[in-house]
Amino acid sequence: MKICVAGLGLIGGSLAKAIKKNTDETVYGLDINRETIASALAQETIDGELTPKELGCCDMVILGLYPQATIDFINENKGYFRKGSIVIDTCGIKQSVVEAAETALEGTGVSFLGCHPMAGREFWGFAYALDNLFDRASFIMTPTEKTPAEVVEKVKGFALKIGFAGCVTATPREHDEVIAFTSQLAHVVSSAYIKSPSLFKQAGFSAGSFKDLTRVAKLNEDMWTSLFLLNREPLLFEIDHIIKALTDYRDAIRDGDSDRLHELLKEGRELKEQSIRNDVKKA
């Protein structure tokens, strides 16, 4: 199989490295940054460079681009993909990307499958790409009624082969709703947490909990601004919900209501324990 990875950042670069490590497929790279291509060639992450016009040689094209860039790339280059080939993206939101991609590729004989590899780092760019970034990660696929079943099977086999721990499918809408909670809200809360006036008094006063709560505040604001605004409704629902929940704790503490506070904390512990049990069952 000939594969092109377009956009060799943290995610695209790590995917290219994982393919080279785990398979014998030919991997091409495409990136607007000359240094990235030079590094990828030097590290043998890619076997060669392609221009968009040469994409017709590929059986699979993986887009490691931001949401709007993904949509633009497909619209600009849809005439170059080979009939029968598969195009997948790696964006953190799916509904808007999948709709635009399917509309653009309508009638071209090219299959699109929305994908979201569930891993990341607090660093970005090809320099931080790792061949094992996805080793314990989940690979989410969001097929629609337009996606041929054999394309889903093929991409699933491919994801498992390059090292993902498992694959799950969801509709684009389900994906966006759940990701608003598991990933986007985490980034919002972490970024809000770090803004306390107490921040620079804390050296030597932190155990693991502070580090955990603020780790992802070190985020790429260009990417996350776009991801948040493309997933407004589900994310607003989650932010409003945690503000409401925090207000419950605040009121109980303000009122010195020990029973209420105890109940709120107990509920939280039980939900966390139940969520751990569910994860173990599904793993």
Q: Which is nearer to a copy of itself, 104 or 140 (CB)?
A: 140
Q: Which is nearer to a copy of itself, 130 or 217 (CB)?
A: 217
Using CB under 8 A, which of 2, 144, 168, 171 touches a copy of itself? 168
**Cβ-based neighbours of 268, under 8 Å, separated by 6 or more:** none
Beta-strand runs (E) in the chain? 2-6, 26-30, 48-49, 60-63, 86-89, 111-117, 138-142, 166-169
- Burial label, 160 (beta-carbon count in 10 A; 0-12, 13-18, 19+): middle
User: What is the distance between the alpha carbons of residues 60 and 44, in angstroms, rounded to a whole number?
Assistant: 19
Q: For a copy of itself, what does the binding mask look like between residues 66 and 105, x meaning CB under 8 A?
A: ----------------------------------------
Residue 170 interacting with a copy of itself (CB under 8 A): yes
- Residues near a copy of itself (CB under 8 A), total: 95
Enumerate residues 182-211 that contact a copy of itself by CB under 8 A: 182-183, 185-210
User: What is the distance between the alpha carbons of residues 167 and 183, in angstroms, rounded to a whole number?
Assistant: 17
CA-to-CA separations, 47 to 33, 37, 160, 163, in angstroms, rounded: 17, 11, 22, 20
What is the three-class DSSP state of 228?
A: helix
* Piece of the chain touching a copy of itself by CB under 8 A; list 81-89, 99-107, 147-155, 165-173: 165-173
Enumerate residues 100-129 that contact a copy of itself by CB under 8 A: 118-120
* Piece of the chain touching a copy of itself by CB under 8 A; list 26-34, 94-102, 144-152, 181-189: 181-189
CB of 164 to a copy of itself, least distance (A): 11
Q: Which is nearer to a copy of itself, 161 or 269 (CB)?
A: 269
What is the three-class DSSP state of 53?
A: helix
Residue 137 interacting with a copy of itself (CB under 8 A): yes
